[in-house]
Amino acid sequence: MSDFLPICRADMEKRGWDSVDFAFVIGDAYVDHPSFGPAIISRVLESHGYRVGIISQPDWKDENSINIFGEPRLGFLVSAGNMDSMVNHYSVSKKHRSKDFFTPGGEMGKRPDRATVVYGNLIRRKYKDKPVIIGGIEASLRRMAHYDYWDDCLKRSVLLDSQADILSFGMGEHSTVEIADALNSGIPVNEITFIKGTVYKTKELDNIPEYIMLPSYDELKADKLNYARSFYTQYTNTDPFSGKVLVEPYDRGTYIVQNPMSQPLTREEMDAVYDLPYMRDYHPSYKALGGVDAIKEVKFSLISNRGCFGGCSFCALTFHQGRIIQTRSHESIIKEAKKIIGDPEFKGYIHDVGGPTANFRLPSCKKQLSKGVCKNKQCLFPKPCTNLTVDHNDYLELLRKLRSLDGVKKVFIRSGIRFDYIMADKDDTFLKEMCKYHISGQLKVAPEHISDAVLKNMGKPQNGVYKKFCQKYAQINKALGKPQYLVPYLMSSHPGSTLKEAVALAEYLRDLGYMPEQVQDFYPTPSTISTCMYYTGIDPRTEEPVYVARNPHEKAMQRALIQYKNPKNYDLVHEALVKAHRTDLIGYDKKCLIHPRKSNVKKKTSAGLTEAEKKYGISFEKYDRMINASKEGKKRKRGR
């Protein structure tokens, strides 16, 4: 049956169902598109014969809002949505956002803060014993004790606070189906402890043959070094092949147990997931409300891969999708492209072909699909590994096939690309074809910073690599006769960045002649190395201290320096330059970032004299007194 899954009892009865197997509670509007996690999980379960009903954005103040299908046969699934609910609601400065792109009409307030916890407790009040399985990005990154930026404290595993039974982390296709099969076979939910990619709670550890005991929650709260060490143990155990069972103790004899990550999807499994009968749009009931804006960027885009071996410190992909690249076949992607071409709204432009990193279409080395990734080494940082497989041929072939399809005018690449991976490729064919066919005027790349010290903390290549890429990019575009530019993504106030590094970044932008419209300020979201640095002041990889800009005012100064030309930022930029002892950048020289606010008579000439000193041979202060005395004299004269 090609239709949206049921969102109400009438839809359920229309299908001839007297109940659902799973009621899926989600924090987003219901969008049935493979770029939306809840859509994938619900369709995968459907393909395995399970009946799934969608409860989208229920009223969390009303217990009956999760009862629209009655009691589900097997249990409840819960996801906060495609985004973390706190990131969805708040900017890095902790101010409320004005729009929710995953809600009809962009309306804010249709989901609660910390939606996974709120929905879990809502269900538990109504159904005391029904299995509750939580998943999605919010739950996945909070599966163990974690730093919460919004409350500025260490929080417990979300599994405890939500009162759920099982947490499915990562992408979830394997683990969710295995949980469903276990429940369907009659296994009590508290005995489902054997599934990879899940976290559960227990009071007994006797049945676990081998595990790593992490510090207890109390120990983590007592000493930030304990947390840094615990976090890094978790970070080095995210691989499905080499990862161990992790145990985190809590009070009253409770343990949170994390099983190893699920096995990566094979190409055949990936194809099967994306070939499911998605409606590829938001539910029609939202049309009168203005639709769901989140569909716009992905409706005419194609996902070609998952996972990322880039290893950026501020990215949570290692914890969620993992470092092993998983790809779809060309046939599957082209099949989806033809569906896109047949859409009445399609104008001939495929917006993107990619994933977390567009130009990764192969595992980083041959051993990964049998032995996993290296525990304590990165594939691209600090330099490309000698075992790294650098090959763009498969991606090139895919792009060539897509742009040759009837009805396609242009195929864009809008996912992130790794310029260091491109630079490691001795063959420039991919870069040449990308410049010629797949960008339009500008290419967005993410050097993130220009200070090697900051880049080291970020897990990014040295600035010299980016400079060489810029040169090669310019040479290729010149040869093609295309006036195309690079748009760099840059980040302020990342751990390791002092005002000194922030000023250096501003000087780089000055020399580049580029002023970004938007500023990416470091956002400490759960389960990243950078967030661990932010909370502890320690690099968990080395246990060395790291400078952290925690004060909101300092963060604002670092952010303002990136947009130093904006008049609204003048006071912050001026203060930052004074504090950084860089008042040489306040003046009228072309190298200066801002002008002084004093009148022109205070301006220094090339000889180092103010205009007043040059003209009158007196100091500015004396000149100022003369002017003021003259003004007072004129006032008195007018008064007479």
**Beta-bridge partners for 442:** 485
Q: What is the pLDDT of residue 517?
A: 79
**How many residues are present in the chain?**
640
> Whose CA is closest to 580, among 507, 526, 495?
507
Do 139 and 79 form a contact (C-beta atoms < 8 A)?
A: yes
DSSP, residue by residue, 89-124: HB-TT-PBPS--TTSGGG-S-SS-TTHHHHHHHHHH
Neighbour-count burial for 29-46, b at 16+ CB within 10 Å, e otherwise: bbbbbbbbbbbbbbbbbb
> Whose CA is closest to 390, among 362, 371, 416, 350?
362
Query: Which segments of the chain have a pLDDT < 50?
Result: 600-607, 609-620, 623-624, 627, 631, 640
Q: What is the pLDDT of residue 189?
A: 98
**Beta-bridge partners for 155:** 146
**Average predicted confidence (pLDDT) for the chain:** 93
Q: What is the pLDDT of residue 632?
A: 56
- Token digits of residue 323: 């470092």
Distance from the Cα of residue 72 to its chain's centroid: 33
> Across 27-152, where does the E strand assignment appear?
31-32, 52-56, 75-79, 132-135, 146-148
Q: What is the pLDDT of residue 624?
A: 47
pLDDT (tens digit per residue) in 504-525: 999 999 998 888 877 899 999 9
Q: What are phi and psi of 357, to 5 degrees?
A: -135, 120
Q: Which residue has the tokens 């502890």?
A: 536
pLDDT (tens digit per residue) in 391-444: 999 999 999 999 999 999 999 999 889 999 999 999 999 999 999 999 988 999
**Helix H or strand E segment including 177:** helix 173-184
- Of the CA atoms within 13 Å of residue 543, those in its CB half-sphere come to 8
Integer-rounded Cα Rg, in Å, for the chain is 28
Q: What is the pLDDT of residue 615?
A: 44
Helices (H) and strands (E) in the chain, counts: 24, 24
Do 384 and 424 form a contact (C-beta atoms < 8 A)?
A: yes
> Whose CA is closest to 468, among 436, 415, 425, 439?
425
Collapsing DSSP states into helix, strand and coil, what is residue 178?
A: helix
Position 385: which residue type?
Answer: C
Please tell me the distance from the alpha carbon of residue 529 to that of residue 538, in angstroms, as a whole number: 10
Per CATH, domain 9-195 is 3.40.50.10420: no
Neighbour-count burial for 422-431, b at 16+ CB within 10 Å, e otherwise: bbbbeeeebb
CB atoms within 10 A of CB 550: 14
- Token digits of residue 597: 């606010």
pLDDT (tens digit per residue) in 228-248: 999 999 999 999 999 999 999
Q: What is the pLDDT of residue 372?
A: 87
Q: Specify burial of residue 114 (Cβ count, 10 A radius: 0-12, 13-18, 19+).
A: buried
Q: What is the pLDDT of residue 100?
A: 96
Q: What is the pLDDT of residue 345?
A: 94
Architecture of domain 441-597: 2-Layer Sandwich (3.30)
